[in-house]
Amino acid sequence: MGFGSYFRDLRMEKRVTQKQIADVIKKKPMLVSNVENGKNGPFSDSDLKKIVTFLELSKEEERQLYKEAAKARGKLPQENIIKNDEAYYLLETLAKNELGRESLSQIIQMVEEQILC
């Protein structure tokens, strides 16, 4: 889908105009249009925080918004990793390739089970 498309759909679902978003982040409406059309990358994290608050997004919508932004930027959202020692350790271990494929599959299964509870 991509960040711009996801954001546009979310904004329209909330019945908010591009101008309203632009006013919240103190930018021009053309920037919002360019982001939605893929001409610009995602908003900055500080702007995303303002948008999340303004749109009163659910935790799932917020998580998806940040995930789409991270994918568009080509990197993980650092804030989530830096603030979570366990996540940082897990990624560090994976980067060192200390876990085999089977171990990684087990971790993914355990995480999915926890999320569904």
The model's pLDDT over 20-45, given as tens digits with 9 standing for 90+, comes to: 999 999 999 999 999 999 999 999 98
Between CA 86 and CA 8 the distance in angstroms is: 34
The radius of gyration of the chain from alpha carbons, rounded to an integer in Å, stands at 17
**pTM to 2 decimal places:** 0.68
Give the lowest-confidence range in 32-36, 72-76, 97-101, 106-110. Answer: 97-101
Cα 73–Cα 35–Cα 4 angle in degrees, nearest 5: 70
Enter the DSSP assignment of 95: H
By the 10 Å C-beta count (0-12 exposed, 13-18 middle, 19+ buried), 54 is classed as middle
